[in-house]
Structure 1
Amino acid sequence: MFSHVTAGTNDIERARAFYDAVLGTLGYVRRWNFPASSGYAAKDGTRPQYWILKPFDENPARAGNGAMPGFLAPDRAAVDAFYRAALAHGGRDEGPPGLRPHYHPHYYGAYVRDPDGNKLCACCHQAYPGD
């Protein structure tokens, strides 16, 4: 459905360090670098892509209220690793890893904000033994 998603940053180097660690827990890597942006994707470069960038209009980046990409995690352990990496690299908690049965019985997700205030989610939709 998506080609790419972008998130603004006011400090590209800080954002690169954050996303290298956090998206790496889900198997995504930084594949493209430009002076004011970087792009992340699966190791084979397929879409969708996630881009961090300084806004083109040169105004300060601001987090969007209600905007949040949800990254698909291969399992619950990856959701946990995503959350820990985010907090260890300057992110803020917006909801620790856990089941969210109000979405569906097996939805396991974690929510964080990056250092610029952008909200992110990692989630797994797979059943876990014992669920």
Structure 2
Amino acid sequence: MIDHTGINVRDFAQSQRFYTAVLAPLGYALRLQVGGTAAGFGENPLRPGDDPGGAFWISEGEPSTPRIHIAFRATSEAQVDAFYEAALSAGARDNGAPGFRHHYHQNYYAAFIYDPDGYNIEAVFHGVEAPQA
């Protein structure tokens, strides 16, 4: 449904390092950098029809108020776990350890962290394993 979205970050270099580390376990990578003030992250490898510049963008600027929530799709519980560990190792603050959130739906498995600017970032797996490539 959504082709791409983005957030403003105070320290672009710090956030680029952070998101590079945190999104890697989910199969996302830095796709495009525009100068030293914007970067796009997307599927790695690209799938047919994907924007080669990425679907999630960070840009240097004043973070939005209130901070928004962004959930990234995972293809397994293990990916959610790896996202959470990578995020904490990269300096994120915990906002909900990996586990089931049955109040959303029966198979909702997610982890939540706060990024360096206080955005609520989530990795979620909906309980259906993706086909192996």
Which of the five TM-score ranges fits, normalised by the shorter chain? 0.7 to 0.9
How far, CA to CA, are the matches of 1:91 and 1:72 in structure 2?
18
Q: Is the 8 A contact 1:63 1:116 kept in 2?
A: no
Instruction: Specify every segment of 5 or more residues in structure 2 that has no aligned partner in the other structure, as ranges.
Output: none
The match for 2:98 is 97
Q: Which residue matches 1:24?
A: 24
SS at the partner of 2:95? strand
Secondary structure of 1:111 counterpart = strand
User: Quick one: which amino acid aligns to residue 123 of structure 1?
Assistant: V
Q: Which residue of 2 aligns with 1:12?
A: 12
Shift of 1:62: 4.0
Q: Is the 8 A contact 2:7 2:64 kept in 1?
A: no
Cα distance in 1 for partners of 2:92, 2:8 equals 15
The CA deviation string for residues 74-97 of structure 1, in whole angstroms up to 9 with x for no partner, is: 100000010111111111111110
Cα deviation per residue 1:110-129 (whole Å; 9 max; x = unaligned)?
Answer: 0011111111110001158x
Q: How far 1:38 sits from its partner (Å)? A: 0.5
Distance 2:13 2:69 in 1: 21
Change (3 A) 1:18 1:84: same
TM-score (structure 1 length as normaliser): 0.87
* Counterpart in the other structure of 1:107: 108
Counterpart contact for 2:8–2:59, Cα < 8 Å: yes
TM-score (norm 2): 0.86
The answer to whether structure 1 residue 81 and structure 2 residue 101 are counterparts is no
Return the offset for 1:8.
1.2
**Residues 4 and 64 (structure 1), Cα distance of their counterparts in 2 relative to 1, 3 Å cut:** farther
Can you give the 5+ residue segments of structure 1 that lack an aligned partner in the other structure? none
Identity between Structure 1 and Structure 2 (%): 37
Corresponding letter in the other structure for 1:9: V
8 A Cα contact 1:6 1:53, kept in partner = yes
Determine helix, strand or coil for the equivalent of 1:117: coil
- How big is the shift at 1:11? 0.7
RMSD: 1.7
Shift of residue 64, structure 1, vs aligned partner: 3.0
| 1:109 alignment partner AA | A
Q: How many residues align?
A: 123
